[in-house]
Structure 1
Amino acid sequence: MTAVEEAKALSHPLRLRILRLALDTPKTNRELAESLDVSPGTTLHHVRLLTEHGFLESTGVRRGTRGSREVPYLSTGKSWVLDFSDGDAHLPSPMTAASYAEYQEAPAADRFGEARLALRLTEPDLAEMRLRIAALVDEFRTRRAGPEGAPYALSWAVHRRSDSGPPTP
C-alpha cells in the first residue's frame, strides 16, 4: 500500500472522527454510527476502508445484548500528519472539519484553552515554533495516562495570513 493510498483513506473527516472514537475503547459499527449520528451503512463503508489500510483493527467477534454478532474496532495507533495543501482552498481540510465538528459537539463547559493570535515570524522562528510545538505535543501523546486520564482533543493550525502580502523570500 502506498502512502498516497493511505493518505486518501484518511481524506474524509468522518474517518478521522472514527479513529478518535476508537482510540482508547473498541467500538462497534453501531456504536460509531450512533456517536456520529450517521447511518450504520455509512459508518461501515468508512470502517472497512480504515481496516483495509491498517488504521483500525477488529478486536474479535462478540455477542450483542440481543445475541447479534458484533465486531468492535480499535484504532491501531497508526497516525498521520496530512498535507492537503493541493486541495480546494475553499473547502476545509478533513482534519479541520473533523476537529471543528468535535469541538462543536463538546459541551460549553468542556471547551477551554482556545486562543487565536497573529504573529510576525522570520522563517527560522517559524521553523523553531513548529518543532517546539510538535515536540511538546509528541511528549504528551506518548505519556498514555491510561484509564485514569480524561480524554482531550487538540488541534492547531498555522497559516500565513491573507493580509500579509506576498511571502518574503
Structure 2
Amino acid sequence: MSALDELRATAHPIRLRLLSLLTGAAMSAAEAGRELGLSQATASYHLRALERVGLVEVVELVRIRGGEAKRYRHVSSARPFDPSPAPRDPSSPGATRPDDQEERAQYIEALIDELRRRSGRRAVGPQLSTDAELWVDDETWQRVVRHVGQASALLHARARPPRTPGTSPVSMTAALFALRRP
C-alpha cells in the first residue's frame, strides 16, 4: 500500500485511537470497542479499514463463545525509522500531488480532533508544548526530524496494554514538515 492509502486510512479520529491502543496490546474488535467506548461493529469496521492498508494485522485467533475472534496489532510502529528527507521537487516521484492535499487536510483535522480530546485529560507531570515556524539549515532540520522520529519509535516500542501496573497514559503528537519558500 502507498503512503497515500495509509494517510486516507488514518484520516479519522477513531482510527488514530485504535492505532494508539493496538500499539501496546493485541485486541479483538470487541475488546478495543470496550476500551474506547465504541460498539464492536464500529471498532470492527475501522479495524478492517486499517488492516486493508497494512497498519494493523491479525496476530492471533481466539475462541470466544463457540466462535473465533481476531486479535489485531498495530505493526507499522515497529518499522525502523527512516530519517531520509521526502522529495522536495513537486515533480519528483513520491512528492505530494495537488489531489493529495484534501487527504492530507483530512488527516490533519483528525489529528486536531484527537489532540483536543487528549488535552482534556492532561495530568500533572513532565510536559512539553512547542510551536515554531523557523528558518534553519538542512543539517539542523535533519537532526530534529531524526530525534523526534527516534522518540516516537521509543514510545511505540515501550507501549504496554492499557492500565498495566506501573504505567501511565501519555500523549505525543508531532507534525514536522518543511515549508515551501514564500
**TM tier relative to shorter chain:** 0.5 to 0.7
Aligned positions, number: 156
Q: Which amino acid counterpart does residue 31 of structure 2 have in structure 1?
A: E
Root mean square deviation, CA, Å? 3.8
**Bigger shift: 37-46 or 145-154?**
145-154
CA displacement, residues 68-103 of structure 1 (integer Å, 9 cap, x when unaligned): 5322110112579xx8x9349799521232233234
The reply to whether residue 22 of structure 1 matches residue 36 of structure 2 is no
Does the 8 Å CA contact 2:11/2:107 hold for their aligned counterparts? Answer: no
Q: Which residue of 2 aligns with 1:115?
A: 129
Are residues 130 and 103 of structure 1, via their aligned partners in 2, closer, same or farther at CA, if it must alter by over 3 Å?
A: farther
Q: Which runs of 5+ in 2 are unaligned?
A: 82-95, 161-165
Identify which of structures 1 and 2 has the higher relative contact order when contacts are C-alpha pairs closer than 8 Å and 6+ apart.
Answer: 2
1:1-169, aligned counterparts within 5 Å?
1-64=1-64, 66=65, 68-77=67-76, 86-87=101-102, 93-104=109-120, 106=121, 108-109=123-124, 112-116=126-130, 121-122=134-135, 125=136, 130-143=141-154, 144-145=157-158, 152-157=170-175, 169=182
Does the 8 Å CA contact 2:18/2:32 hold for their aligned counterparts? Answer: yes
Q: Which runs of 5+ in 1 are unaligned?
A: 160-166
Partners of 1:146 and 1:14 in 2: how far apart?
19
Q: Which residue of 2 aligns with 1:164?
A: none
Deviation at 1:138, TM superposition (A): 2.3
**Bigger shift: 28-37 or 14-23?**
28-37
